[in-house]
Chain A
Amino acid sequence: MAFLEIKNLCAKVGEKQILKDFSLTINEGEIHAIMGPNGSGKSTLSNVIAGHPAYEVTAGSITFKGQDLLAMRADERANSGVFLAFQYPTELPGVGTALFLKTAINAKRKFLGLPDLDAVQFMKRLKTRATALGVTDEMLKRPVNVGFSGGEKKKMETFQMAFLEPDFCILDEMDSGLDIDALRVVANGVNVMHEPHRAFLLITHYQRLLDYIVPDFVHIMVDGKIVQSGDKTLALQLEEKGYENYK
C-alpha cells in the first residue's frame, strides 16, 4: 500500500479548473520535489491535499495511509499527519505562538486518544525544538508570525513542523525569500526529520533548494499535471533549459 496516492485528481477554484488529471504516488521515507512554472497548479495541489475550503475537487482521489483523505476535514487531515508549510504563512495578531502550538498539539493528541501534554512536558518539547532551529524565546512570545521577516516566517513554519511531528510534510516554496543562511537552517530542519516513516513533498521553482534537501524524485508540473518525472538530475537539466520545452 502506498503511503500517499493521488489518482486522477481534478480541482478548481471558482470556475477555473487548475488540477487536471493529476496523479502521484509517494512511499514512506521518500522525498519528492515538484517543479513547474508560475500558474501550473503547484500551490493548488498543496492546498487541496491540506483541505482548503476554497478549492473544489471535481474528480479523482487521495489516499493517505489507506484512508480517504478527501473525506476528512482539514483539521482531521492535520491530526492524521499531514502538514503544510505555507508559502505565505498567515499572521495571527493577538494569538500567542506558544498557546497556538499548545492548542494544536493537544488537538492532535486528543484525536489520537492521548492525554493532553501538561505544562512541563509542553515547555520541554517546545524548547528542544526551538533551540534546534534557532527560534528564540522572544519569537515564541510574539503572536503567530506577526512582525516576522519572510525568512523568520519560514523558519517558524519549519519549527511548527518539527514540533507537531507530522508524517507527511508539504513544503510550499520553502526557499522563496530566504537568504543562504536561512535556507541552510530551514533545510537542516527538514533533513533531521527525514526518517523512514515520514515523507516529504517539496514545491519549488528553483533547483537551489534541492542542493540542500536532496530529493529521490523530481516531477515537472505544467498546466495542472505532471508532464515528466525523473531523479534529481532532472532538476539540473531544468535549471539549464527552463520550462520552455514543456509548454
Chain B
Amino acid sequence: MKITNNISLTGYNGVLTETVFGTEPMEIVVPENSEFTAHILHISGPITLRVILNGEYAKCDIKIAYLSNKNNHNNIKVEVIHQYKNTASSQVIKGILTDTSKMVFDGIIRIPFDSQKCDGHQNHRAILLSDTASVQATPELEIYADDVKCSHGSAVGALDENHLFYLLSRGIPMDEAKKILLKSYVMEILPETWEQYVDEWMDENV
C-alpha cells in the first residue's frame, strides 16, 4: 500500500479500520515528511508488516499488543527499512501468553549506507501466565550507516510479584489484581475504545 499523507491505521484482531489487515504480508510505503501510525491488537493468525520509510523525515510509530491463548502458535514479523536519511521509527510490541500458546516475533530494522541521522527503536516485552507458554523473539538490526541512533530490547517474564503484592495488600483478590495489571500493561499502547476487546479476552483467559 502506498500512502500519500500521514496515515493512522488501527486494527483489532487482524482487521484494520482503514484497510483490511489480513494474513497476507503487508507493505506500507511512507513518503517524505509523512508519518505512519499503527495500533494493532493481535489475537490470532500471522502478521507480516513491512514499512519502507521512503523519503526524508518519514516516520513510523507501530504499537502491537498480542494476546495468545490455548495452543495457538503465531508469528509476527515487523520489518522497518530506513530507505532515506533523517527517518525515524519506533516499534513497541507487548504480549501476554497463556496455556500452551507460542509466539515467534521477528523485529527487523534495516538502515542502508546512505541513510545517516536515522532513529530506529524497537522494544518487545512479553508476560507468560503459564509455564507451558513460550516466546521466541529475534530482534535484528542491519545497520550500514555509521551516524544513527538505534536500540532494541526484548524481555520475557512473569507478572511482577511486587506489583501484585501491592494490589493484594490493598484487599484486591489475586484474579482481579492480575487482570488490572495485565490490562494496564496492554492498554498503555492501545486506543481507549479497545478496552472491551481486552476485557473479553481477560475474562476468558485470566
A residues neighboring B (CB under 8 Å):
50-54, 73-75, 78-79, 83-84, 86, 89-90, 92-95, 100, 103-104, 107-108, 111, 143-144, 160, 164
Contacts and interface: CB of A to CB of B under 8 A. Distances in A.
A42 to B, nearest CB: 17
A86 B163 CA distance: 12
Name which of A50, A74, A107 has the most chain B CB atoms within 10 A of its CB: A74
A89 B170 CA distance: 12
Given A94-B187, A103-B172, A104-B167, 13 more contacts: A50-B165, A53-B165, A54-B161, A74-B169, A75-B171, A83-B169, A84-B169, A90-B163, A92-B163, A92-B166, A95-B180, A107-B176, A144-B166
Contacts, number: 73
Given A94-B187, A95-B184, A52 B165 contact: yes
Interface of B: 161-163, 165-174, 176-177, 180-181, 183-185, 187-188
13 contacts: A52-B169, A73-B174, A75-B168, A75-B169, A78-B170, A78-B171, A89-B166, A92-B167, A92-B184, A100-B167, A104-B171, A107-B172, A164-B171
Contacts of A84: 169
A94 B169 contact: no
Contacts of A83: 169
Contacts of B177: 75
A90 B166 contact: yes
A100 B171 contact: no
Contacts of A108: 171
Name which of B161, B172, B176, B185 has the most chain A CB atoms within 10 A of its CB: B172
**B-side interface mostly:** helix
Contacts of B162: 90
Contacts of B170: 78, 100, 104, 107, 160, 164
B171 A107 contact: yes
A146 to B, nearest CB: 10
Contacts of B181: 92, 95
B188 A93 contact: yes
Nearest to B171: A78
B176 A74 contact: no
A75 to B, nearest CB: 5
Nearest to A78: B171
Contacts of A73: 168, 173-174
Closest 4 CB pairs of A and B: A94-B184, A78-B171, A74-B168, A90-B166
A230 to B, nearest CB: 30
B81 to A, nearest CB: 31
B188 A75 contact: no
Nearest to B174: A75
A160 B166 CA distance: 12
Nearest to A52: B165
A79 B173 CA distance: 10
B174 A111 contact: no
A104 B172 contact: yes
Contacts of A51: 168-169
Contact of A111 (B163, B171, B185): B171
A186 to B, nearest CB: 18
Contact of A78 (B169, B183, B187): B169
Contacts of A164: 170-171
B191 to A, nearest CB: 14
A134 B148 CA distance: 47
